[in-house]
Structure 1
């Protein structure tokens, strides 16, 4: 329970922090969010399931609230506060701004760090010993060295030795080419803390900092990677953590993408044929009888796998399915063709055997190294090599498992498809629903979880997000919806009087004329499109009228486009941004940088990806309506995000225009409008 002393502590630090914030305005919604986060994490509602889903509108101050409430409860209960985000921008804001400010102005003494995956760090031993190796002879690299690579490697080494570089890929001032980075990257198979030569490697030092830190900032992908390994591998154990999942509306999709797997049939055959080099390499270095059996098993299984892959390749070559425009063919209800099922069953079994054999060879090598029976310089290439094959084999195993999973009638199937590309056939699979996975890995394991975002509801309900995330009303999870403090009724939401809707032939020409007429001179304009092709069509037609004002997404970098736009606005010039859905979220243009927002079409996603098609098929098979159950809730969420571009601060003004009349002519239109903030609705006549 939340004690009186802890409540007083939070109130005291709220005063300290807010007094240090320039132009701070006290908000009831923020105070309420602080209180609810603290109560949930302290176990006031449910001691065994401390989960809060909080939608907090723009301007409430979510990050201040969850640090202010989460940190003292975590410190008091001896838990780590893990803040996970979907974007690098928010990570950087937390690490460089929010947490240092809180540390400086609050009473709390705490440490914080940014956690990254192992692949973002170099291996000190590899870096310092490159002089003994010829990079061109290094095993398993997919790109050939180029002129100048040796000089860059020398610079990296010298900077590291001089203490001017910490071994973090992201902290080097310029991008490090992949062909160079892969020569020095930390990998879990050779860069082990148990080995004396690796104890000071950058990843292990970073891992030590993570263990010592009170607050750890991560991204959703790294959090999922740790949870998939059982937790406590990269980050602390889940039951020792209070998690704050900011930008939580991204979590279901990131989880689904993370759980997907794909295998290129031809490439897999190629590397499996080379696996015999592992056995040869081990036999040259490790002189133990125990390597004989796993070496033989590895080769036999690899040969069987090559034969099975050949039979699958031959099947698709001789029985080409009806590929779509993207050269994809999706298997209905996730059922792969019956003629390849036996080959997949064999692949599943042989992959398991091969993986076990390679793991044994790797473990024997590690044991010999620990016993000082072989030198590190001889063992390390083997550990790197076996690590490469273990990673590839694990990917194969994940795919075969998904493709052959028994189908329960009440559970969603997987999405499964084949791509026909220049490099041959690629088999792919993805789960449709990840709620069960999140329940198993996170909700049931964590000490506490706070999920927050400005958009967690669709059509004024948490139901859609709950289905995606595997949460329920009666499982102990708490739900909170707090509206933004902004003066939305002062903002005009216009629905244009359009003759055609976007499904009709005359819409494109009418859209071009409408946008041209509605551009405001000497102001910041943003026009959001549902597709690149329509954006480019309109841009081509209007470029002559606005030769210097028009800035189109994709024609230059996003950063340069926004910088130019702001410069134009600062100079009092007309500036027009054309963008697609990716600009509808995360784009921050306060004040005069945006006063005129146009939304060309309702943001209906076309279910053209295999996963989306499979999901729609599954819902239809159960008697549901995928348009109402997926498309409309997704459109509601995206429309809220699109309209949210206009008002970023309390003093922001301007107008929004929707150029899609379906928002008033279709039955679903009212629910989309009702889910928006309370703008001043104006239906043009």
Structure 2
């Protein structure tokens, strides 16, 4: 229960923060959220399940609400507060603005820090020794070709900057992009860059991790959260049962979870690096002091030879199979069901890969122990640990893929497909696996373990309900889980007009692009700030070409970076020139153009996704097999959320105003369209 003392603390914090905000306005919706978050985490609604799902639109002040609602409770109950986001922009806002403000003025005493995955940091030993070990680098699985002069110069700059203490080793802080090829040589990895080895104890990742235990509030991204869950929880982050989680931008969580649970590997490419591993393992065994390494190497060789033998069988099988690949060179197995012969090969490969992984891991650990004991010099061991670590990572992915293809211990549906790869002198096959549903994973690994969780976003409901998100995230029918829509502070009827004009051509008609070229000029404001959103790059480019031929000046997504485009757009508006910005769906989320920078929003058509990816096809197939309708179950709800996001670009503050025009009559002519229309904010409407 929420004690009177905690209630008083929360009220006091809120009052102190309000006093520091010059433009502060009392928002009933924000007050409501603070109370609901605090009561949920305090267990007022359920004894064990302390979870709340919140849809809170722009202007609600949800970040301040969850800090006020969760932080005093976390401090009082000695729990960690972990805030997970999907975008770097929100992380930066929390770290540089929201948390420092609360820390300075709330009266609460707490610490906070940003937690990144290890792949964002260098391994110091790798960086400082990358040229000394260049002879060994040619054998490393990550390096496809020798370094060119530009790449060598980049590494030298990084070395010098780190040595001069002008760079901390964080990839995101380096002022220029670091190529993936260069970064792969110096990046921290869990197998080679180990804290217990003296030469790695001062690597930036380990220094950052050392601070976690002392920090009260941790800001992370969804990928770090999933990485911790994959390890069982409490390995990177605090233990789930000792943690209150805030999952901001929660609508991304199911997709990030799916991506994290996927696996893919080539056939011929795997055979090639398996052959390199055979040669490398002998070198590794000879370096290890303990004699038992020789026995492990024999086991590794036997298992790896079996893996290679079975992979060659699969290669020959696929070469002779009469699979019908589509235009993207994909062949998807219907219902994820693998042919019996391939499944048997998969079982053999999964078992052999597991044996290989077990032996290599033991050898890797043995060499790490030799270094820690001083029996093997670091300069000798580190190149071997780096290389064996990369082989271990590849084996883990390989084992995950073939374990799934063997359908061992699986009860949930998976999408499985092959992509045919054509090269200049040869071809290969990429085998892929992805779970269709991931809610059960989040339920088992996070929701049922954590001390409490708040999931929030501006778009979590679809067509008036949370059903779609609840199922995808594993929260459907869970006891005690509360779903809340926070009322918006905007007065939509006074601030915006939603116009659906009559159109001469249906959005599905081949002539729709030509219609847009003809019709758009009558809806554009030459002197104002315009954003036109398209459902596809192809159509955007066709319309842009047609309008430019008529003399229109346009800013087109993809012709410059996002930042450069927005700067140009704002400069034109500031100089009273008017601006017309063309973009696709990626500009409908996270784009903030307040006030005069956007007063006229045009949406050309409902943003329906075309289910062309193997995962989307498999998902639709699975729903059909259960007697459902994929269009109504997936496509419409997803499009409805995207439409809400698109419309959300117009009003960013309570003082904003403007016009939204949607050139898609299906919103009024189709039954699902009416449901979409009803899910939009209550703008003043003009339907011709």
Establish whether TM, by shorter chain, passes 0.5: yes
| Structure 1 partner of 2:304 | 302
Counterpart position of 1:636: 640
Counterpart for residue 470 of structure 1: 474
Partner of 1:78: 78
Tell me whether 1:133 sits opposite 2:137 in the alignment.
no
Shift of 1:137: 4.3
Which residue number corresponds to residue 320 of structure 2?
318
CA shift for structure 1 position 263? 0.6
Count of aligned pairs between the two proteins: 681
Output the CA distance in 2 between the equivalents of 1:385 and 1:506.
56
Report the CA distance shift for 1:129/1:536 in structure 2 as closer, same or farther (over 3 A): closer
More displaced stretch, 675-684 vs 134-143: 134-143
How big is each residue's C-alpha offset from its partner over 1:51-94, in whole Å with a ceiling of 9 and x where there is no partner?
11011121000111111111111111111111100011101111
Partner residue in 2 for 1:524: 529
Aligned ranges for residues 237-256 of structure 1 at < 5 Å?
Answer: 237-256=239-258
Q: How does 1:47-446 map to 2 (within 5 A)?
A: 47-130=47-130, 132-134=132-134, 137=137, 139-140=139-140, 141-405=143-407, 412-423=412-423, 424-446=428-450
Verify the 8 A CA contact 1:195 1:370 in the aligned structure 2. Answer: yes
1:195-240 deviations in whole A, cap 9, x for unaligned? 2222222111100122211111111011101111111222111112
| Kept after mapping to 2: 8 A contact 1:135/1:183 | no
Contact 1:263 1:396 in 2 (8 A): yes
Q: Hey, what does 1:606 align to over in structure 2?
A: 610
Are the counterparts in 1 of residues 470 and 476 from structure 2 also a CA contact under 8 Å? yes
Equivalents in 2 of 1:31, 1:135: separation in Å?
A: 63
Q: Does residue 493 of structure 1 match 2:498?
A: yes
Check whether the contact 1:600–1:658 (CA below 8 A) recurs between aligned residues. Answer: yes
- Aligned pair in 2 of structure 1 residues 407, 300: CA closer, same or farther (>3 Å)? closer
Name the CA distance, whole Å, in 2 between partners of 1:508 and 1:115.
46
- Given that residues 136 and 145 in structure 1 are in contact (C-alpha distance below 8 angstroms), is that contact kept between their aligned partners in structure 2? no
Give the conservation status (yes or no) of the 8 Å contact 1:412–1:618. no
1:441-460 maps to which residues of 2 (within 5 A)? Answer: 441-460=445-464
Give CA deviations for 1:584-606 in whole Å, capped at 9, x if unaligned.
Answer: 11111111111111111111111
Q: Secondary structure at the match of 1:275?
A: helix
The two structures, once aligned, show a CA RMSD in angstroms of 1.7
Whether the aligned pair in 2 keeps the contact of 1:136 and 1:144 (CA below 8 Å) is: no
CA distance in structure 2 between the partners assigned to 1:359 and 1:76 by the alignment? 42
Paired with 2:67 and 2:403, the residues of 1 have a C-alpha distance of 40
The SS at the match of 2:149 is: coil
Instruction: Give the C-alpha shift of residue 506 in structure 1.
Output: 3.6
Q: In structure 2, how many angstroms separate the alpha carbons of the residues matched to 1:255 and 1:523?
A: 41
> How far has the Cα of 1:113 moved from its partner?
0.8
Q: Cα gap change, 1:474/1:311 in structure 2, threshold over 3 Å: closer, same or farther?
A: closer
Q: 2: distance between equivalents of 1:582 and 1:226?
A: 28
- The CA distance in 2 between the partners of 1:49 and 1:157, in whole Å, is 49
2:650 alignment partner in structure 1: 646
CA distance in 2, matches of 1:286, 1:506: 70
Is the contact between residue 327 and residue 421 of structure 1 (CA under 8 Å) also seen in structure 2? Answer: yes
DSSP 3-state at the match of 2:172: helix
Aligned to 1:565: 569
Shift of 1:564: 0.7
Shift of 1:443: 0.4
2:499 is paired with a residue of what secondary structure?
strand
Q: TM-score scaled by structure 2?
A: 0.96
Distance in 1 of aligned mates of 2:165 and 2:150:
23
> Which is further off, 61-70 or 163-172?
163-172
Deviation per residue, 1:229-277 (Å, 9 max, x gap): 1112221111121110000011111111111111111211110011123
Q: 1:177 to 1:503 in 2, by over 3 A?
A: closer
Residue 26 of structure 2 is matched in structure 1 by: 26
Question: Partners in 1 of 2:640 and 2:133 — Cα distance?
Answer: 57
Corresponding residue of 1:671: 675
Q: Tell whether 2:510 aligns with 1:508.
A: no
Give the TM-score normalised by the residue count of structure 1: 0.96
Deviation at 1:317, TM superposition (A): 1.7
Distance of aligned partners of 1:92 and 1:321 in 2 relative to their CA distance in 1, 3 Å threshold: same
1:538 aligns to 2:540 (yes or no): no
Matched residue, 2:591: 587
1:407–1:413 Cα contact (<8 Å) kept: no
- In 2: Cα distance, 1:621 partner to 1:190 partner: 46
Task: Report if the CA contact (8 A) 1:82-1:216 is conserved.
Answer: yes
- Structure 1, residues 605-636: CA drift from partner, whole Å, max 9, x if none? 11111111101111111111111111111111
Report how far residue 31 of structure 1 moved.
0.3
| TM-superposed deviation, 1:29 | 0.5
Distance in structure 1 (CA, Å) of the matches to 2:542 and 2:50: 50
Give the Cα separation in 1 of the matches to 2:474 and 2:484: 17
Compared CA separation, residues 266 and 131, structure 1 to 2 (3 A): closer
Confirm or deny: 8 A CA contact 2:344 2:406 kept in the other structure.
no
The secondary structure found in structure 2 opposite 1:479 is strand
Structure 2 residue ranges without an equivalent (≥5): none
Q: Structure 2 vs 1, CA of residues 196 and 604 (structure 1 numbering), >3 Å: closer, same or farther? A: same
